[in-house]
Every structure is written in C-alpha cells, then in structure tokens.
Amino acid sequence: MNLSKTVTKKLYIRGIVQGVGFRPTVYSYAHKYGVEGWVRNTSNGVEILASGSESAVDGFIQHLRDTPPRLAKVDSFLVEQAEQGMHSGFVILDSQPMEGEFLPISPDLSICPDCLRELYDPTDRRYRYPFINCTNCGPRFTIIKDIPYDRPKTTMADFQMCQDCESEYHDPLDRRFHAQPVACHLCGPQIWFETAGTIKSRGEDAIQESRAAIQSGKIVAVKGLGGYLLACDAANGATVETLRARKQRSQKPFALMASSLEIITRHCFVSNEEELALLSPEAPIVLLQKKPGCALPGGIAPGQQSLGFMLPYTPLHHLLLEKRTGYPEILVMTSGNRSEEPIAYTDDEARQNLETLADGFLMHNREINIRTDDSVVRFFRGGIYPIRRARGLVPSPVRIPFSVAPILGVGAELKNTITVAREDYAFISHHIGDLENLETSESFTQAIPHFKQLFRVHPKLISCDLHPDYRSSRYAEERACSENIPLVKVQHHHAHLAACLADNKWDSEEPVIGVCFDGTGLGTDGAIWGGEFLLGGYASFTREYHLAYTPLPGGDAAISKPSRSALAHLWKAGISWDEDMAPVQATSVQEKTLILQQLQKMINAPPTSSIGRLFDAVSSLLGICHLTTYEGQAAIDLENAISLVDDREGYGFDFHADQIDVSQMLREIVADIRKDVQVSRISCKFHHTLARVVLTAAQKIKSKTGISTVALSGGVWQNMHLLEGTINLLESNGFEVLWHHQVPANDGSISLGQIMVASAITQKG
C-alpha cells in the first residue's frame, strides 16, 4: 500500500505522435513508474490518463517529456488535473476519432536498425522479407487513405495478419505493437519479377533475378514506396547512356543509391551533417560535391560538380544492393517515367509507360496510395536547403507564424505543390510536378481532396497565382465559383517572399527586402517578372527595383532557347550581333531575321525582368548552352563552369530610377570573351556582379527605410555560388539575411506563400 498521496492527471500530446510507437512507449513508461490509467489515439493526438503516487506520476510525465519515441515530433504537451477514478493497471484504449479534428501524419520512414538486423538474421522469421517494418520504420504517407492511422485505412487493409504477426501487433511491449503495415513472409505483400507481362520468378528468386539482370547491364523498374524507380548499374557507362536514350533525357542528372555510406565517400565529400541526413529516417537524396578523380561515368550527371546520392531506404533496396563480389555497389535510381511525365506508381501504369524503358520489372502487391518522388536536399552552412520536398519529408507540416482560417493554396504551374492549412499548421504536399503534363495535372486534382480529407481542412478561402493560364489558377477559379468560396490571387514573387518569411517563422508586421530572383512569374503590370526587389511582408508589397525589361522574343518558347535571350539582351544593350558571338552562330539567318522583327516591333516579345533569362543570355554568350533540355539547365551549366572561386572582380551596372541596367556588364563580358578570358572566370565575375547588384539595391532601400533584413527566394537561389556570395556580401555589410530551410526556394514553395498572403490580406481586412 502506497501511503503517499494519489494523484490523477490527464495529458494531451499533439504533433507527429501516431505511427511512431508512441503508445507502446507510454505503456512501458507507465509500467516502469507503476502508473495506472490508459492511453489512446485521438484524431488530434494522444491522450493519457495517469494515476498513482505523486512522485510516480510526475516521474512518468517528466520521463515522457524528456524521452519521447525517437520519431515523434511533439508540438504541444498539456497536463491537467483529472478526476480520481478506478484504474487497475495501465491499458491501451481503442482510437477515438473526433469530428473535424486533425493531426499530422508521419512521413514514410527508412528501415530502422532493428529491422535491418532481423532482415539478415537467418533465425528470424522475417529473414530476407522485403517488407519488414515496425513502429519505428516503414511506409506511412504513401499507404494512408484516411485518418486515424489504422490498418483498415491503409493499402494494407487487404492483408490478413497471421497469428504471429497478430500477437506482435497486440503486444504493447513488442516493437510491432500497432505497427499498421506489420507483415511477414506468410501473411504480407509478396514480390515477383516479370518481363513483358509474364512472371518469371517470385520471392527471393525475384530479387536474385533482378540483381543478375542489373549486373548484366539491364535496366529494371523497381516498385518502391512512392512509385517505380528505374535501376541500373551506375558503373556501367553504356547502360547509363541506354537509360538516357530510352528516357529521352539527355542531360538532367540521375540520382544514385549506394549500398553504404563508405561507398559514397569514395566518390563524394560528405560532411557530418550530410552523413546524418543520408542515414536519417527521411533518407533523402543529398546533393554532394564530387571528389576530384571520381571514376563514375560522366553520363550520370553531365557537367555537374555534384552527385545526388541516397542510401537504401526500404528492405527491398537493401536486398537489391546486398554486398557480393562482382555485383554493383551503386545503382542509378531515377524516377520511372519518360522525360516530363510523372513517376509511374500503379502496376498497370508501370507496365504501360515503362515497357520501352525497362528490361524487367521487380513488382509487389502492396498498393501505393499516392505517387511520391524521392526528396532532394542540399546542405548550406550546415543546414538543410531543400530542393524537392517529397518522400520522407511530406506530409510533416510547416508550423506557420500565425493562425489561419482553413485555406487552400494551389501553387504554381511548374514544380507544383499544393498547401492546405488550418490554425498554425501548413500541410504542404509532396512535389507534384509540371502541370502542363496531363498525368501530373491529374495528380494535382487528386492531391487536393486527399490533403483536405487527411487533415480535415474545409477551405473557407482559396489562393492561386495571378497568372490566369496556370492550370492551378484555372482549377482555383472553378472551385471558388462552384463552391462559392472567396479567391485571392497572389502575385508570384510576393508568394515567394511570403514563403521565405514563413519558412523563417517571421512573425512580425515589419516589412523586409525581398530579393526574388526567378525564371518567370506574371507581374502586376502584365510583364514577366523575375528580377525583383520587393519591400513588404505577408499582407502587401511595393516593387522597389527590378532588372530593366528586355523583350523576350517568342515568349514562353524562348525559355528553352537561351540563344534567344542572349540576342535579346545584346539588342537591348545596343550591342551588335557580330558573327564571332556564340549565340549569333547558333542562330540561323531566318531565325535572326524573325527575332529582330519581334524585338523591333514588340510582336510576341513580352517584356521580362527575369534573372533566369539573364543567366540564359550569359550562358549562351559563353557558348555553354544555347538549347536547354530541362528547366534551368543553362544557369546550372553556367554555375558549374566555375572552377576557381574569386569574388573580387565584377562587371559594371547602373541604376536608372527603379530599373537595373546591366548593359555595361554585357559589353564587358563580350570584351572578356574577345580577350579569351577563361569561361570559368567570366562566369565567376558574372555571379559576383549579381551579388553586388543585390547589395547595392538593398543599401538603397535601407537608406530610404532603415530596413536591413533581406529575404532570398525564387528558383535562381538554388545557385549555390550566387547564394553564398550574396549572403556573405550582405552580411559583411550589416544586413540580416533570410533564406530557405524547410521548403525549396523554387516554385515548390509558392503554395505556402499563397496561403500566407491570402490569409494575411483577409484577416487584416
């Protein structure tokens, strides 16, 4: 009999607390401290009733606060006194759905160390089982159809657990207690290898047949967590070229999967932070700097100074890359699609779309509920700088700095994501892709109801881009009209600025200097913006400075032709098109005549202030890229041309009222080219010039307003040389600089920016 006072407390815990082993942890702590009561999942978190001596209950609460389950992300932890009741022991109660409530859902998690050990343990009943998982790892977001997260609401619903799995599932002290995707050889999903629609082998044989095919230079489509990936031997240059030809993807880098961290370090530099990211449960593709003399075929990432590596994140990947002499240690693992199409995720889609791409298919019967690509990140100053937010990161919410009414943001046209938000949670979707593609457009229309349903968001407001022709904008118009919901159109670069502020938890009304360097975005004056110095916050902005307008001959069609941007910029700067210039040589006489007419008469030549197009122009002038095969290629190639960093020299530029005139820089670049100055040096000088342009504009705004915080957003900021150079320059001149950490600088964060702006405007008004 415990003589000390008995207390009863109720705990409400919110955050990512389901599907991460929270209840078993609570259960084992309760036993440890001799606490009685119960724990249960609700639709908005976990509820606990803890009863016992004061010291036991306090010890239990403190322990749970200090040591929550490894994968849990606790947002709030509320404790209140509760009424004394009769409790015998500690129990786990059934889930308690609450109308309209919501909670974050765990993303898919890479295989944990315990499961990995069992995978290779011949005495374990799941020895070499490709779907081994537990409460600490395995699929989540990609198999969830609805909440609360219970097996019947996942694509595992059709698999009836065997007795052994069932008893683990119900044992609170087991690692697989309530692990919804729990399965084994006997009762769970199975794999097979097929070619031309015929099953060749199953189970272990299917793995070995796939491995043999890859080893012999074949391309195998492998069904993963969020879709099919095309796998081949990365060391086999001929196969890599075949893959390029089949995918019709001539230049864009391929991602790699290595069997171990040690293998990666042979080819790339890996910092401590990068190592942690590679090994993390999120297991993203990490862009790493190549080591000099890296022996991998150049065709993997033509002209690039970095390679995108990830580690195996599912048991199936581990088995595919199992160490054995003579077998590949690194696989190309690129999304299973033809250029521009979204990743195939159903078996039928794979058979149909990948037939001409893959020599064989490693398939399984665990359905993927939602198409999700691999995430891509980079590291900058020791922190994550996201490039593509998808598998492993989504749907973890971004906490926003003020509470919003339920809202939907539909995003941009390219690199589309959607965001639904309520209270201070923004649920940003996985990277959906370029909406000009029909299948991607379908993914977009499926993702919206799915996210609304998962997070119980019934939008009272919709936000979209100002551009009327974006498919996302058209969708928003239709919805707003048919559902009678107000629609707020947000200027593209204002959305970029707001996304960067939200990303940095900016919670003040103070305006900042937003430097939005981007490819395109419709401006409030009808021109194509993209080199913008905005002054503003969430609710409003003014445009302080911008790159002087240059006509873009051919409009959108010119985006894939940097030579056109070069000719246009030369024309604008009053520099004649001489025969010794690379873009002049790259353009036929007829085309030149047409372009000149378009420029002079301003026919089909919309004015643009895009920095992306300026990068195109310089890239073409230097003979680096006249025709792009993927978005941003000319700029990426121009950055990659830099071999030595020397940030002292730059070119001239002028400010005329609110316009930034770079014609002097262009004249000096042409002169440098004629003097045979190295391409690397010219590129470096160009980057440094842009950093100086940013500093100059920021100083002008600061002297007028006293504001000294600068936010950098827009796709151009994925240029690490420019990012680093600009931040260094701004900081050494007394500016505070905000950049992206949770969402990409590119259009993947537009939907977040849209909901921030639309909410701020509406709540203010």
Residues of this chain that interact with Zn ion (CB under 5 A) are 112, 115, 134, 136-137, 162, 165, 184, 186-187
Q: Rule CB under 5 A: is residue 209 a binding residue for Fe ion?
A: no
d(Cα 354, Cα 358) in Å, to the nearest integer? Answer: 6
Q: Which entry of Fe ion, Zn ion, none binds 698, CB below 5 to 8 A by partner kind?
A: none
d(Cα 338, Cα 357) in Å, to the nearest integer? Answer: 8
Q: Which entry of Zn ion, Fe ion, none binds 137, CB below 5 to 8 A by partner kind?
A: Zn ion
Q: Rule CB under 5 A: is residue 639 a binding residue for Fe ion?
A: no
d(Cα 102, Cα 572) in Å, to the nearest integer? Answer: 55
Cβ 90 to Zn ion shortest distance, Å = 24
In this structure, are residues 759 and 486 in contact, taking their beta carbons and an 8 Å threshold? no
Nearest-CB residue for Fe ion: 518
d(Cα 504, Cα 740) in Å, to the nearest integer? Answer: 7
Pick the closer one to Fe ion by CB: 239 or 416: 416
The strand pairing partners of 364, in sequence order, are 191
Distances from the Cα of 104 to the Cαs of 140, 428, 556, 754, in angstroms? 12, 11, 39, 21
Give residue 5's region: left, alpha or beta (phi > 0; psi -120 to 50).
beta
Q: Which entry of Fe ion, Zn ion, none binds 518, CB below 5 to 8 A by partner kind?
A: Fe ion
- Cis peptide bond upstream of 148, omega within 30: yes
Q: Rule CB under 5 A: is residue 747 a binding residue for Fe ion?
A: yes
Cβ 123 to Zn ion shortest distance, Å = 17
Q: Which entry of Fe ion, Zn ion, none binds 136, CB below 5 to 8 A by partner kind?
A: Zn ion
Pick the closer one to Fe ion by CB: 150 or 747: 747
Cβ 516 to Fe ion shortest distance, Å = 8
| Interacting span for Fe ion (CB under 5 A) from 19-27, 116-124, 238-246, 746-754 | 746-754
String of DSSP letters for 335-362? ESSSTTSPPP-SHHHHHHHSTTT-SEEE
Q: Which entry of Zn ion, Fe ion, none binds 747, CB below 5 to 8 A by partner kind?
A: Fe ion
User: Which contiguous run of DSSP H or E holds residue 214?
Assistant: helix 203-215
Q: Based on C-alpha coordinates, what's the Rg of the chain?
A: 28
3-state secondary structure of 1: coil
Pick the closer one to Zn ion by CB: 115 or 240: 115
Give me the 501-520 binding string for Fe ion, x by CB under 5 A, dash otherwise.
-----------------x--
Pick the closer one to Fe ion by CB: 25 or 610: 610
The C-alpha torsion from 195 through 201 and 202 to 208, rounded to 10°, is: -100
Pick the closer one to Zn ion by CB: 186 or 438: 186
Pick the closer one to Zn ion by CB: 72 or 599: 72
Q: Which two tokens stand for residue 55?
A: 């010291």
In this structure, are residues 119 and 318 in contact, taking their beta carbons and an 8 Å threshold? yes
CA nearest to 363, candidates 247, 231, 240? 231
Q: Rule CB under 5 A: is residue 374 a binding residue for Fe ion?
A: no
Pick the closer one to Zn ion by CB: 88 or 163: 163
Cβ 521 to Fe ion shortest distance, Å = 5
b (16+ CB within 10 A) / e for 617-634 = bbbbbbebbbebeebbbb
Cβ 254 to Fe ion shortest distance, Å = 25
Pick the closer one to Zn ion by CB: 135 or 210: 135
Assign 3-class secondary structure to 40-109.
EEECCEEEEEEEEEHHHHHHHHHHHHHCCCCCCEEEEEEEEECCCCCCCCEEECCCECCCCCCCCCCCCE
Cβ 633 to Fe ion shortest distance, Å = 16
d(Cα 618, Cα 668) in Å, to the nearest integer? Answer: 12
Pick the closer one to Fe ion by CB: 497 or 582: 497
Q: Which entry of Fe ion, Zn ion, none binds 760, CB below 5 to 8 A by partner kind?
A: none
d(Cα 754, Cα 419) in Å, to the nearest integer? Answer: 9
| Interacting span for Fe ion (CB under 5 A) from 271-279, 327-335, 564-572, 744-752 | 744-752
Pick the closer one to Fe ion by CB: 363 or 758: 758
The CA angle 334-338-341, to the nearest 5 degrees, is 100
Pick the closer one to Zn ion by CB: 138 or 342: 138
Q: Rule CB under 5 A: is residue 631 a binding residue for Fe ion?
A: no
Question: In this structure, what are the phi and psi dihedrals at residue 674, rounded to the nearest 5 degrees?
Answer: -70, -25
How many residues touch Fe ion under the rule CB under 5 A: the total is 2
CA nearest to 228, candidates 376, 374, 414, 416? 374
Q: Which entry of Fe ion, Zn ion, none binds 186, CB below 5 to 8 A by partner kind?
A: Zn ion
Pick the closer one to Fe ion by CB: 321 or 614: 614
Pick the closer one to Zn ion by CB: 114 or 578: 114
Q: Which entry of Zn ion, Fe ion, none binds 56, CB below 5 to 8 A by partner kind?
A: none
Cβ 182 to Zn ion shortest distance, Å = 7
d(Cα 12, Cα 480) in Å, to the nearest integer? Answer: 36
Cβ 315 to Zn ion shortest distance, Å = 9
Q: Which entry of Zn ion, Fe ion, none binds 575, CB below 5 to 8 A by partner kind?
A: none
By CB atoms closer than 10 A (0-12, 13-18, 19+), residue 391 is: buried
Per the listing, tokens 């119900």 go with: 170
Cβ 248 to Fe ion shortest distance, Å = 26
Cβ 390 to Fe ion shortest distance, Å = 18
Q: Which entry of Fe ion, Zn ion, none binds 165, CB below 5 to 8 A by partner kind?
A: Zn ion
Cβ 185 to Zn ion shortest distance, Å = 7
Q: Which entry of Zn ion, Fe ion, none binds 184, CB below 5 to 8 A by partner kind?
A: Zn ion
CA nearest to 659, candidates 595, 557, 572? 572
Pick the closer one to Zn ion by CB: 144 or 165: 165
Cβ 158 to Zn ion shortest distance, Å = 14
Q: Rule CB under 5 A: is residue 465 a binding residue for Fe ion?
A: no
Cβ 747 to Fe ion shortest distance, Å = 4
Per the listing, tokens 């308690």 go with: 96
Handedness of CA 560, 566, 567, 571 (dihedral sign): positive
Q: Which residues inside 518-577 make contact with Fe ion, applying CB under 5 A?
A: 518
In this structure, are residues 213 and 591 in contact, taking their beta carbons and an 8 Å threshold? no
Q: Which entry of Zn ion, Fe ion, none binds 115, CB below 5 to 8 A by partner kind?
A: Zn ion
Cβ 492 to Fe ion shortest distance, Å = 6
Bridge-based pairing state of the strands 306-310 and 376-380: unpaired
Task: List residues near Fe ion by CB under 5 A.
Answer: 518, 747
